[in-house]
Amino acid sequence: MKKWHVIGIAFFAVLLAISIVWGGLWLYAKRDVVPDGTRAGPQTSDGVLRVTDKDMLTLGGLTVDQAKERLRRQAAALTGMTVALQTNGSSQVKRTWTMAELGLSVDTTGAEQALTRLREGGVWTRAAYRHRFPDELTVKVTWNTKQLERKIRGVWGFLEAHEPVNATRTIRADDTVAYTPHHDAYRLDMRTLTATIRARVEQAFEATAQGGTIAKSGVVPMPLTVVHPNVTLEKLKVEGIERMIASFATDFSTSGEGRAHNVKSTAKSLQDWDLAPGEMFDYLTVIQATRESYGFKEAPVILNGELVPGIGGGICQVSSTLYNAALLAGFHMTERRNHSLPVSYLPMGRDATFAEGAIGFRFKNTTGKHLLIRTETAGGKLTVKLFGTMPNNVVYKLESKTVEEIEPGIKEVPSATVQPGSRLLMSPGKTGYIVETYRTKLVNGKAVAIERISRDKYKAQPAIYAIAPENAQPHGMQELGKSRKEVVEDGVTH
């Protein structure tokens, strides 16, 4: 009897233990509270947010319904958060959108489904699920930035319709220099705007996760990228084309059609020639440009000290006129030579010849600023004007002096029409000259420096007599027959 009594007690003890365990398990499984330590945070795969611990929403200890509600409130707060955008300046445009309208989506479906499963299934199933319930639930966050861009461009896209406009410099009829300002263009800086809005969403996530509210933000200035033109007003002005610093004119009204064409065409090529600081001016480049754009016509040239028909006659009037303007601006020549014969349009000592492949005309821009060359050919006058930087109180004057005259020699040429022992004057000789040119620098009207800038020789031209062949000296015949290298001044060789 005692044995059965013990067995009964043991049986009831086991039943009691099972009841207690089962009851505890049932209570555990049937709990409607989210496991302690459970949090929910944003999950993003496209760089929408930078997630930190502060962005995690605490759900542990809340009922399932409370946890769901908290998730939904956070999602609604984030997608309903407003962003006000405005452009600054004279044409202010302001627009306000919610983040949902700008493409932000906060999906709590996955987290809510995980919470719902805490209530589903039998005791064992629910207990097992609760036991392995994750510490962190994810809230899927996506941001359709293309939707944001469509909204922005729909309002401010007009700003991108314009292109930048260069500043311009104009030389007026009165030779004053005028500038027209440049105009910038603008482009919407979507990258900066996206980063700004993303930062505000991150701050909102943190605020709501910590139990706070989303702070009202002020107006976000619409970020714009300024597109400057290639030539801004500042860039143009720093070149230093401030005023006309020198001008010189020569007359070509008596020139024939071919020579006038050559003068005008070369002047056109020289028009608006811009020399940078330290840049070398080479007249050869002007001649090459003229040949390519306009071509040269027949006109008298100087060949080995004699005036003969040729191509390009007149080009040295342009170089000589420029030479005088450059002297009056204070420049020193790198390469310059006078004509072998005096020219009619300038005093001796003031000309600059050119012979392609033999004689050049070059000078360097030493002003430290840009130099602009302008030309005019009106009324039979060629005018060269230099625009740049030079002190207003500085003036240069030029003076040429003949320091020596060279008597012409005599040249005899055989002619069958001349009787033996007599001679016939065919061409009178012309005196040659040695000329020195000086430049005086005046500051405030007072001479402060005088320099000799050239010493030029103009060859004498011999008087030419025809004599009978039998009276000609053998050495004279040999002299006449010598070949000389052709140097074409005031023209081109081809």
Say if residue 166 is exposed, middle or buried (CB neighbours under 10 Å; 0-12, 13-18, 19+).
middle
Separation CA 144–CA 159 (nearest Å): 23
CB atoms within 10 A of CB 3: 7
- Distance in Å from the first CA to the final CA of the chain: 146
What is the pTM for the complete model shown? 0.73
Q: Domain map of the chain by residue range?
A: 24-160+190-215, 243-489
Walk along the chain (494 residues) and give the pLDDT tens digit of each residue: 666 666 666 666 555 555 554 455 556 566 789 999 899 888 766 656 666 777 788 998 899 999 999 999 989 988 999 999 998 765 578 899 999 999 999 999 999 999 999 888 888 888 888 889 899 998 999 999 999 999 999 999 988 899 999 999 999 999 999 999 999 999 999 999 999 988 888 888 888 887 777 777 678 888 999 999 999 999 999 999 999 999 999 999 999 999 999 999 999 999 999 999 999 999 999 999 999 999 999 998 888 777 788 899 999 999 999 999 999 999 999 999 999 999 999 999 999 999 998 999 999 999 999 999 999 999 999 999 999 999 999 999 999 999 999 999 898 889 878 788 788 888 888 999 999 999 999 999 999 999 999 999 999 999 889 888 877 776 544 444 444 567 888 888 76
Give the three-class secondary structure for 435: strand
DSSP H stretches of helix in 277-314 = 283-293
Separation CA 349–CA 129 (nearest Å): 110
Beta bridge partners of 195: none
Which CA distances in Å does 305 have to 301, 406, 462?
10, 15, 11
Give the residue from 354, 364, 376 showing the smallest Cα distance to 330.
364
Q: Which residues contact 91 (CB under 8 A, 6 or more apart)?
A: none
Pairing of strands 136-143, 39-43: parallel
Say if residue 447 is exposed, middle or buried (CB neighbours under 10 Å; 0-12, 13-18, 19+).
exposed
